[in-house]
């Protein structure tokens, strides 16, 4: 439905978007995730033909947006970051104007009524847009994008300014629309992306940092299983901590152990990372039984989207991470494709993994700072 090939946008020396490629299929809801200034809006503006790309190609329904902009644009409904509303018009007049502007052929009255009902703005149709609250303005903006029933919907932060109830309504609406539209939406609200999107593209500094479902991205960003253990030693002193940590490190498949804070008196928590292949829980249990220790808590902590996001986007501001950034600069860190239901990861991923491992020491020292004496 939408295909983006090597899209690049430069403003002078500033590289706003750098060589982004992706594909969105019909009926897919794609989430653009990224910190402010990552290039989300720029990408969306290029997708909708508002600005042009410096290089690269965008195909909407097989039509190049630069070659036949009118045809390509007629397939897109766009809600920009700031809804393009004429505040001196009533909602009705404005929607009528957009209806004419898009040369919509659907039955006028019924179509507009349907959209107003869908966006829940039927009760404000005769009011001036100037006098509406931000949430209503946002919904009028969404209604405008839906006019003429375009197969592709591009929504730039669609839930900004809405109250929690409305956010849930709009999310439900987007999910519903996703059944027969292709939807691309951007957000920096993680739960929103997770709740609505089938697939996520994380954009950072103008490049695609990750592409896939939340699970896929999580799986690929870390191959280790992380867990937090709370183990009661025999002496209830700091010596326990060293002993237990050392013993855990000896176990097969455990890659990394860090003793955390003293959570209960004389009892410490341990962050443990194991590789994916081995399930270390039984081995840990066995170890504790042999040594006479007690496991008071075992908590698997798989990465949430939030962890992924922070890891990807914050990674490059951590000390010593510049080196890790380098290989990722020209290529996306991860390039995932689903072929025949199987996950195919390209070699780029290897570099990224290395990059992440290089990141680890920095990560650690960072964490230790506020660890109040935590030790490995």
Partner 1 sequence: MGAIYRREMGAFFTSGVAYVFLTVFTLLSGIFFFFGVIASGTTETSPLFSSMFIVVLFLIPILTMKLLSEEKKNRTDQGLLTAPIGLWSIVLGKYFAALTLFIIAESVVFIYAGILAYLGDVVWPSLLGNYFAMLFLGAAFISVGLFISSLTENQMAAAVASMLALFVLYLFDSLASNVSVEFIRKIMLSFSFYSRYLEFTHGVFNLTSVVFFVSTAFIFNFLTVRVLDKRRWG
Please say which residue, 12 or 292, places its beta carbon nearer to partner 1. 12
Closest distance between partner 1 and the C-beta of residue 88, in Å? 5
Q: Is 101 in the site for partner 1 (CB under 8 A)?
A: yes
Please say which residue, 86 or 302, places its beta carbon nearer to partner 1. 86
What does the alpha-carbon distance between residue 315 and residue 321 come to, in Å, rounded to a whole number?
A: 7
84-92, 106-114, 191-199, 309-317 -> range binding partner 1 (CB under 8 A): 84-92
* Cα–Cα–Cα angle for 272, 204, 257, rounded to 5 degrees: 10
What does the alpha-carbon distance between residue 351 and residue 346 come to, in Å, rounded to a whole number?
A: 10
Q: Is 220 in the site for partner 1 (CB under 8 A)?
A: no
Closest distance between partner 1 and the C-beta of residue 226, in Å? 43
User: Which residues, 18 to 77, sit near partner 1 by CB under 8 A?
Assistant: 45, 48-52, 70-71, 73-74, 76
Contacts 24+ apart (CB under 8 A), 68-75: 73/48, 73/49, 74/102, 74/103, 74/148, 74/150, 75/150, 75/151, 75/152
Instruction: Map tokens 């060589």 to a residue.
Output: 19
**Tokens at 334, concatenated:** 């991860």
15-23, 93-101, 169-177, 313-321 -> range binding partner 1 (CB under 8 A): 93-101
Size of the site for partner 1 (CB under 8 A): 29
Out of 6, 25, 62, 82, which residue is the one contacting partner 1 (CB under 8 A)?
82
x/- string (CB under 8 A) for partner 1, residues 103-142?
Answer: x---------------------------------------
Please say which residue, 96 or 327, places its beta carbon nearer to partner 1. 96
Cβ–Cβ contacts within 10 Å for residue 372, how many?
9
Q: Is 87 in the site for partner 1 (CB under 8 A)?
A: yes
Out of 11, 306, 326, 344, which residue is the one contacting partner 1 (CB under 8 A)?
11
Out of 16, 91, 98, 142, which residue is the one contacting partner 1 (CB under 8 A)?
98
Please say which residue, 149 or 223, places its beta carbon nearer to partner 1. 149
Q: Residue 253 in contact with residue 282, Cβ under 8 Å?
A: no
Q: Is 102 in the site for partner 1 (CB under 8 A)?
A: yes
Please say which residue, 93 or 297, places its beta carbon nearer to partner 1. 93
Closest distance between partner 1 and the C-beta of residue 87, in Å? 7
Q: Residue 192 in contact with residue 183, Cβ under 8 Å?
A: no
Find the Cα–Cα–Cα–Cα dihedral 322, 324, 326, 330, rounded to 10°.
-130
What does the alpha-carbon distance between residue 32 and residue 158 come to, in Å, rounded to a whole number?
A: 12
Closest distance between partner 1 and the C-beta of residue 96, in Å? 9
Instruction: Map tokens 């209830």 to a residue.
Output: 236
**Tokens at 264, concatenated:** 């209960």
Please say which residue, 44 or 308, places its beta carbon nearer to partner 1. 44
Out of 7, 22, 33, 78, which residue is the one contacting partner 1 (CB under 8 A)?
78
What does the alpha-carbon distance between residue 168 and residue 158 come to, in Å, rounded to a whole number?
A: 12
96-104, 158-166, 184-192, 268-276 -> range binding partner 1 (CB under 8 A): 96-104
- Local structure of 83: helix, strand or coil: coil
Out of 37, 84, 320, 361, which residue is the one contacting partner 1 (CB under 8 A)?
84
Out of 25, 55, 67, 100, which residue is the one contacting partner 1 (CB under 8 A)?
100
Cβ–Cβ contacts within 10 Å for residue 285, how many?
12
Out of 57, 63, 64, 89, which residue is the one contacting partner 1 (CB under 8 A)?
89
Q: Where are the alpha helices (DSSP H) in the chain?
A: 40-47, 69-73, 91-101, 108-119, 134-146, 164-177, 190-196, 214-221, 238-250, 281-291, 305-314, 322-330, 348-369
Among 24, 29, 12, 143, smallest CA distance to 79 is for: 143
Q: Residue 263 in contact with residue 374, Cβ under 8 Å?
A: no
Out of 59, 63, 93, 106, which residue is the one contacting partner 1 (CB under 8 A)?
93
In the complex, the residues that contact partner 1 under the rule CB under 8 A are: 11, 45, 48-52, 70-71, 73-74, 76, 78, 80, 82, 84-89, 93, 97-98, 100-103, 144
């Amino acid at each position: 439905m939408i295909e983006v090939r090597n899209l690049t946008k430069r403003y002078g020396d500033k590289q706003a978007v750098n060589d982004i490629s992706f594909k969105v299929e019909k009926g897919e809801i794609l989430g653009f995730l990224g910190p402010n200034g990552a290039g989300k809006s720029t990408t969306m503006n290029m997708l909708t033909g508002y600005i042009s790309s410096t290089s690269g190609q965008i195909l909407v329904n097989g039509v190049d947006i630069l070659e036949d902009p009118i045809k390509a644009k007629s397939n897109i409904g766009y809600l920009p970051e700031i809804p393009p509303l004429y505040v001196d018009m009533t909602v009705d007049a404005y929607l009528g104007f957009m209806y004419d502007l898009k040369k919509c052929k659907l039955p006028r009255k019924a179509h507009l009524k349907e959209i107003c009902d869908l966006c829940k703005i039927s009760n404000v149709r005769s009011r001036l847009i100037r006098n509406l609250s931000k949430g209503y303005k946002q919904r009028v903006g969404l209604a405008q994008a839906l006019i003429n029933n375009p197969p592709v919907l591009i929504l730039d932060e669609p839930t900004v300014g809405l109250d929690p109830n409305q956010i849930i309504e709009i999310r439900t609406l987007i999910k519903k629309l996703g059944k027969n539209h292709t939807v691309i939406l951007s957000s920096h609200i993680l739960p929103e992306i997770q709740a609505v999107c089938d697939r996520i593209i994380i954009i950072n500094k103008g490049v695609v940092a990750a592409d896939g479902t939340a699970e896929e991205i999580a799986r690929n960003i870390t191959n280790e299983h992380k867990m937090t253990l709370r183990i009661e030693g025999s002496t209830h002193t700091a010596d326990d901590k060293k002993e237990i940590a050392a013993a855990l490190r000896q176990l097969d498949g455990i890659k990394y152990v860090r003793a955390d804070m003293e959570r209960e008196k004389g009892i410490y928590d341990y962050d443990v990372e194991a590789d994916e292949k081995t399930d270390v829980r039984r081995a840990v249990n066995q170890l504790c039984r042999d040594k006479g220790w007690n496991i008071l808590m075992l908590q698997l902590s798989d990465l949430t989207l939030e962890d992924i996001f922070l890891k990807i986007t914050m990674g490059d501001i951590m000390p010593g991470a510049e080196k890790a950034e380098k290989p990722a600069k020209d290529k996306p860190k991860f390039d995932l494709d689903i072929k025949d239901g199987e996950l195919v990861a390209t070699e780029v991923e290897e570099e990224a993994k290395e990059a992440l491992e290089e990141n680890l020491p920095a990560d650690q020292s960072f964490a230790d700072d506020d660890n109040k004496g935590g030790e490995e």
